[in-house]
Structure 1
Amino acid sequence: MTILLNSLAFLGTQELIIIGVIILIFFGGAKIPSLMRGLGRGMGEFKKGIDEGKRSFEEMGNDDEPSTKAN
């Protein structure tokens, strides 16, 4: 698995063009915008989930602190 991830990090322009052409052949020009739209929505939902998790984690940390101040 790590070999695959390491090889994906070093893709050049030619390789990306070839991958793009293959995707275009498989899905066709009409389907690609809807695929990209779905990918964008998925990324947005993922980011919202991460932000919500961070907020709830921070709120849990704030609940543990004493709310009274010493005079």
Structure 2
Amino acid sequence: MKEPGLDGRHRDKADPKSGQIQQKRSDTLNKNLPQPIPQFPLNTKLGTMREATGKTSEKDVRQAAKKLRP
């Protein structure tokens, strides 16, 4: 069941990951994100953006992208 405030994701209920928020898949295209990251082309995969910025979460990738490509 999805919980409010998690952007459509859910928290894992079972051990060993209990309570962690599930991350978006790395094959998600930039154009399919709720708000595409303007510093990357629309057909860029989230995994590629994570490698370019060195960050894991979508929020951290977005902040790091602003510093890479203003």
Normalising by the smaller structure, the TM-score range is: under 0.3
More helix by share: 1
User: Structure 1 length as normaliser, TM-score?
Assistant: 0.23
Max radius of gyration: which structure? 1
Q: Per chain length, whose mean CA-contact separation is higher, i.e. which structure has more relative contact order (CA < 8 Å, sep 6+)?
A: 2
User: Structure 2 length as normaliser, TM-score?
Assistant: 0.23
